[in-house]
Amino acid sequence: MSHDTLPRPTKTRQPTSLPTPAGRRRRHWTKRANPVAGLGSFLWLIIVIVPIYAMLSASLTSADKALTGNPLKPPTDPTLDNYNTVLTSGFGHLLSNTAIVAVSVVGIVLVLSIPLAYVAVRTRDRWSNAAFRLFLLGVAIPAQAVVVPLYLLIAKLNLYDTLLAVILPTAAFAMPVSVLVLVGTLRDVSEDLYEAMALDGASPLRVLFQLTIPLAKGGISTVVIYAALQAWNGFLFPLIFTQSDEPRVLTLGLFNYVSQFGVNIPALLASVVLSGIPIFAVYLVARRALVGGLMGVGGK
Amino acid sequence: MTAVVEKRPPGERPTTKAKASSIGRPHAAWALPGVLFFTFFAVVPMALAVYLSFTSWDGLGDPRPVGLDNWQKLLDDPRMTQSLWLTVVLTVASWAFQTVVALLLGVWAAGRQRNRAILSAIFFVPFLLSSTAIAILFYALLDPNFGIIQKDTLGSQSGAFLAIVFVGGWQFIPFHTLIYQGGARQIPEVLYQAAAIDGAGPYRQFFSITLPQLRHTITTSTVLMVVGSLTYFETVLILTKGGPGTDTAILPYLMYEAGFKTYDFGYASAIASFLVIAATGLSLVLVRLTGFGSMRSTREGM
């Protein structure tokens, strides 16, 4: 978010009142090589890369060869058969269901959270404070703990085994963090801008659309990605609120592949790779927004 | 603001103080749809979970009140005791593993060299896979016939436990590294310069400046880890199914089994209520011990 654009104290040259030893660079972190830290980060790199490499390599190995070889060895004659197996067993349906859930969740979260954050920042009366506090506490509500009563609610609403049964609770549980992120961003908008627009007689609605939303783009894109990730990765709600093939989403499909493909581990891994590709594509495009937005969470 | 408003030509707008300060401000009612939605799908179910814990319900028909039966059962259930202990140990072990690695990586990655930026980008990749995908990946890689380690890791108690701690770390350390990276970048450079003048080496600087300065970041990250450790449910369900035996059946898994395997929703709700009470209590203790509450004010302009 804003951290990347803020002027860093490191970049301002210190006045002579604070002399620094000759030849010392201004940034402590690039000052000198730290071999221990470098070694540690290299070790972690291996821990991150080896499983990913093993997954890619195994997914390209034919099923009958897989059991004889070690997944760390590169495949001798790579094949796309496993990907074919997965793609022809209803993967597209899972993908489109998941996309519907993700888009709907993002839509609901934005429509509900933006006015909320706007009120929390601009209208500091008792009620908007209470609303904000509800979401502050809401961060701590584990989805696990409410899944049984939600099951009852979903059944009573006649939504069991539909995509809506996944969409609505997922959106609700993505709201607390979204509201916090948006409130954080909106607080950075200068009070003067609001006053200027208010003096011009702009209605709150116009202020929201012409000032708040354009200036909160960073926070909004963080929320979009966060909510989409929640929807994309959600497992518990689909597991418990759906049953048939029709509303099945990607994570649940993967879970079913475990029993469906049984010992065909290469096909299983191909399905994992395929499930990661869409989100990885988004990551490549929106890395700055994602990383920048999440980095602000622990600051201060 | 009030001063400005008083300059208005009289009569153009009501100039009472209350009105003046509310010009151009949205009404609190704008928050209502979001509050109602969240209340219905998160707060009401929480209250309902407590209610259901005093009933007997098999998922069909209506819940039947049974008083304290489920809670009595909860206290007497040896699996509950084991599960609670397991959840605590798993949370603590995961916290220690993830905090140490994420803190070191985050502080290191706060540098601005090119290779660090590239490495940080690679480090982040595991976070992009879903818990389900990651659990399946390690389920395959830990397979005794197929996997990297040709041993039945998941078949032994300590192996299964360590696998869950490791897989959780593999997935979530990237995220926490990012948080620490953000925190470390906000430490004023002047502190390091002053320390260097006083002759403090890099390790002394780390323990005397970096760690204390990151205390709020550590708190945020810890709270997220503790709440997040409840989401290990997927990992347990796919990787070990609570086994071997019941050796990795953490509380959410126990609740899932009680509810959706044996259809004892009353008992499942008692476990769920216990989970909420424990999580809330833990958050409050953390807030007290670490001054998270005071962070609210410094969150201004987060």
C-alpha span between B111 and A62 (Å, rounded) = 43
Nearest to B137 among A55, A173, A195 (CB): A55
Q: B171 Cβ partners below 8 Å, 6+ apart?
A: B126, B127, B129, B131, B134, B235
pLDDT in tens, B34-60: 999 999 999 999 899 999 999 998 878
C-alpha span between B94 and B142 (Å, rounded) = 19
C-alpha span between A290 and A78 (Å, rounded) = 34
From chain B, pick out residues whose CB is under 8 angstroms from the CB of A27.
Answer: 111-112, 189
Are B105 and A41 in contact (CB < 8 Å)? Answer: yes
- pLDDT of res. B10: 45
- Indicate whether A4 pLDDT > 60: no
Radius of gyration of chain A (CA): 25
Interface with A, mutate which of B2, B35, B103, B256 (most A CBs under 10 A): B35
Confidence class of residue A30 from pLDDT cuts 50, 70 and 90?
Answer: very low
Q: B262 Cβ partners below 8 Å, 6+ apart?
A: none
C-alpha span between B177 and B168 (Å, rounded) = 14
- Indicate whether B213 pLDDT > 70: yes
- Indicate whether A156 pLDDT > 70: yes
From chain A, pick out residues whose CB is under 8 angstroms from the CB of B278.
Answer: none
Interface with A, mutate which of B43, B128, B191, B215 (most A CBs under 10 A): B128
- Indicate whether B293 pLDDT > 50: no
- Indicate whether A149 pLDDT > 70: yes
Q: A59 Cβ partners below 8 Å, 6+ apart?
A: A82, A83, A266, A267, A269, A270, A272, A273
- pLDDT of res. B54: 94
C-alpha span between A234 and A243 (Å, rounded) = 15
Min Cα separation A149/chain B (Å)? 5
Query: Quick one: closest CA in A to B229, which residue?
Result: A142
Of A103-107, A292-296, B209-213, minimum mean pLDDT range: A292-296
- pLDDT of res. B170: 95
Better-scored residue on pLDDT, A156 or A5: A156
Are A28 and B193 in contact (CB < 8 Å)? Answer: yes
C-alpha span between B55 and B223 (Å, rounded) = 32
Nearest to B126 among A48, A54, A202 (CB): A48
Are A18 and B121 in contact (CB < 8 Å)? Answer: no
Are A40 and B269 in contact (CB < 8 Å)? Answer: no
C-alpha span between A233 and A105 (Å, rounded) = 12
Are B111 and A29 in contact (CB < 8 Å)? Answer: yes
Are A172 and B42 in contact (CB < 8 Å)? Answer: yes
- Indicate whether B15 pLDDT > 80: no
Q: What is the ipTM of this complex?
A: 0.81
Confidence class of residue B30 from pLDDT cuts 50, 70 and 90?
Answer: confident
Identity at B141, one-letter amino acid code: L
pLDDT in tens, B85-143: 999 899 999 999 999 999 999 988 887 777 787 888 888 889 889 889 999 999 988 88
Are A127 and B31 in contact (CB < 8 Å)? Answer: yes
- pLDDT of res. A293: 65
Query: Quick one: closest CA in B to A169, which residue?
Result: B41
Q: Please give the torsion angle defined by the CA atoms of residues B158, B163, B164 and B167, in that order, rounded to the nearest 10 degrees.
A: 160
Min Cα separation B282/chain A (Å)? 10
Nearest to B133 among A66, A272, A283 (CB): A272
Are B123 and A44 in contact (CB < 8 Å)? Answer: yes
- Indicate whether B3 pLDDT > 50: no
- pLDDT of res. B181: 87
Q: A221 Cβ partners below 8 Å, 6+ apart?
A: A286, A289, A293
**B264: which DSSP letter?**
-
Interface with B, mutate which of A65, A129, A148 (most B CBs under 10 A): A148
Confidence class of residue B31 from pLDDT cuts 50, 70 and 90?
Answer: confident
Question: Residue A156: what are its φ and ψ, rounded to 5°?
Answer: -65, -30
For residue A129, with 0-12 CB atoms within 10 Å meaning exposed, 13-18 middle and 19 or more buried, which class applies? middle
Residues in chain B: 302
- Indicate whether A124 pLDDT > 80: no
Yes or no: is domain B78-294 CATH 1.10.3720.10?
Answer: yes
- Global pTM value: 0.81
pLDDT in tens, A275-296: 999 888 888 887 776 676 666 6
Which token pair is A116? 């909320």
Min Cα separation A276/chain B (Å)? 6
Provide the mean pLDDT of chain A.
81
Are A112 and B129 in contact (CB < 8 Å)? Answer: no
From chain B, pick out residues whose CB is under 8 angstroms from the CB of A3.
Answer: 182, 185-186
Confidence class of residue A96 from pLDDT cuts 50, 70 and 90?
Answer: very high
- pLDDT of res. B291: 52
For residue A100, with 0-12 CB atoms within 10 Å meaning exposed, 13-18 middle and 19 or more buried, which class applies? middle
Confidence class of residue B286 from pLDDT cuts 50, 70 and 90?
Answer: low
Confidence class of residue B217 from pLDDT cuts 50, 70 and 90?
Answer: confident
From chain A, pick out residues whose CB is under 8 angstroms from the CB of B116.
Answer: 41
- Indicate whether A226 pLDDT > 70: yes
Inter-residue contact B164 to B239 (CB < 8 Å): yes
The reply to whether omega before A7 is within 30° of 0 (cis) is: no
Nearest to B268 among A3, A148, A175 (CB): A148
* Residue where the block lists tokens 């609670």: B84
Enclosing H/E stretch for B64: strand B64-65
CA B55-B60-B63 angle, 5° bins: 20
State the sign of the Cα–Cα–Cα–Cα dihedral B164, B169, B172, B176. Answer: positive
Identity at A216, one-letter amino acid code: A
Nearest to A123 among B28, B133, B147 (CB): B28
Are B26 and A146 in contact (CB < 8 Å)? Answer: no
- pLDDT of res. A163: 96
Min Cα separation A88/chain B (Å)? 19
Question: Residue B65: what are its φ and ψ, rounded to 5°?
Answer: -65, 135
Confidence class of residue A151 from pLDDT cuts 50, 70 and 90?
Answer: very high
Residue B124: C-alpha distances to residues A13, A14, A58, A168, B251 (Å): 33, 34, 22, 29, 29
CB atoms within 10 A of CB A85: 19
Inter-residue contact B149 to A71 (CB < 8 Å): no
From chain B, pick out residues whose CB is under 8 angstroms from the CB of A58.
Answer: 140, 146
Q: Which range scores top for mean pLDDT: A107-116, A176-185, B254-263?
A: A107-116
From chain B, pick out residues whose CB is under 8 angstroms from the CB of A190.
Answer: none
C-alpha span between B55 and B269 (Å, rounded) = 9
From chain B, pick out residues whose CB is under 8 angstroms from the CB of A173.
Answer: 41-42
3-state secondary structure of A233: helix
Residues in chain A: 300
From chain B, pick out residues whose CB is under 8 angstroms from the CB of A283.
Answer: 124-125, 128
Interface with B, mutate which of A29, A32, A121 (most B CBs under 10 A): A29
